[in-house]
Structure 1
Amino acid sequence: MSEVAKKPIDFMGFRKIASVLSIALIVISIGLLAVRGLNFGLDFTGGTSVELEYQQAPELDEIRTALADAGYDQFVVQNFGADTTVLVRMAESSNDELALQITEVLSAGGDELQLVSSEFVGSQVGDELKEDSGLGLLIALAVVLIYVGMRFQFKFGIASVVPLAHDVIIVLGVFALFQWTFDLSVLAALLAVIGYSLNDTIVVADRIRENFRKMREGDSEHVINESIHQTISRTINTSGTTLVVLVALFLLGGEAINNFAIALIIGVVVGTYSSIYVSANLLVILGVDREDLIVPPKEGLAGSEEETEEPPEWLNRM
């Protein structure tokens, strides 16, 4: 095999281009969030939830069509537990007869159904949910910073948390751009993206730490390049198989989980990119080197030269 074939891909050679791309995406995403904002779903804005029980499993698309033809908008229709149980969530309304009206509209097509329950959730609960979800994301990032800082080194902690924030902001920016509904399922997808991206970043960070201790030649960029090259096949295989499942979930899972699948697809793609370029790039910028990863000798174990240069004679006989 030739030397050219043996030479790893120069990932760090593109780090400046990657930096410009990441900064541009972050700025655009923040701008979209500030100007357009997120299209919050009923979980955050409040509304009326109506549970209906059918005699036979209905087609959800037919229910959506019937509600749209009746003049309703901003609603969500999904199965709730069993195939015969349907949950209809409408935008906030002060109409106490809304549940009965929905029942009449849907039974007009000849389907036998029964109103099981109706519940109204005010916008104040949605506002509290927004604050709690934002706080939850911040706590998750803080815990990651503490864990990685203790597990590896503080520079690795920063290089792990920043990519996670990078991934979340870009996913939110895409949702703001297309005004896709942001509900609790998308929030759950964001938390899953954090876990997925962190796992990939930890794998690369662990290999970088190992190579800093093993490789005696080359600067930080060379060691990081080698580490990424050694883990890139694992990264591509993991991301590829995950995306296959998510695309199938998006195409076959139905409207209720479409946004969940979209958020995860974007998050996996961006998370794979950030674990290679954002995290590793930050380690170079922060100046990580071998001295940062040297394990300090334990107190009382630094003996004389005679004790450290050669093992005891009895050990040589083993």
Structure 2
Amino acid sequence: MTEAAHGRYRYSALPSRPVYDWPGGRRLAVYVALNLETFAFGEGLGAELAPGGPQPDVLNYSWRDWGNRVGVFRLLDLFAELSLPVAVLANSRLHADCPGLMEAVRRYGETHPVEIVAHGRSNAERQGDLDEAAERELIADATQALAREEGRAPTGWLGPWISQSRVTPDLLSEAGYDYLLDWAHDDQPVRFATRDGRGILSVPYPQELNDIPAVIARGHTAREFARMIRDGFAEMRTASRAAPLVMGIALHPYIVGQPHRLRPLRRALAGIVEHRKTIWLTTPGAIARHVATLPEGILPG
């Protein structure tokens, strides 16, 4: 298969691209993505701490539910201590399933930058399994619910389980979205072609510095995951001298909100915050807005 198989962007080698800056002349943009997700009891998809038994899989369901009842608040406390901007990747059914949780996020947003990114309805389903009409309905449902509850429509999207169909970028552009996070193919934003001619921006999202693949799929310890964050940050700071880069860190409360994982994460994030004067601590939406101000032809696509 060639690049024409998806038709979204052309091949572009990072060293051959134009160089630009993030705000303040900085070269490394860093964002934290806090994934807030809800799951169906006794059915549907869900990450597993241990191999699940027959439904209802109480072991894994309750482990995930702990994240929304306990872990998320510990993470918000940590972020407040470090004065971190946060991108909250939210399932739209959180408002009904976890009353008060998104209100806590709003309170955090009163003193710190917070962006709400649409993350589907629930992580019990994958949108890539749906036909086009059903996927369009899923996007509309999630968008309308978040706009109603949060007072504004989200501008960015991450599919539940990083799942896309062949037409997902088209449907998101047609629904008014400015950017998506599903593709992990670059360290810079990339412009995607869409069938409506509007286009949509792909902002880098981490699949390596992401606690589900790292801790759950590959079995890294909390300290190993924290070391990955520290080493990744140090290397990207060096690499960003030559080109502007985006570094994301994806976190799930039911994983890194656990006390034994929170402590190493605390040290890793504190080490990043020490460099806040020379990096751009931000959100993916702010990255998309800055990119929109750049001259035509700067971005790969």
Instruction: Report the TM-score when normalising by structure 1.
Output: 0.25
Structure with the bigger RCO (C-alpha within 8 Å, sep 6+) is: 2
Instruction: Report the TM-score when normalising by structure 2.
Output: 0.26
Is the radius of gyration larger for structure 1 or structure 2? 1
More helix by share: 1
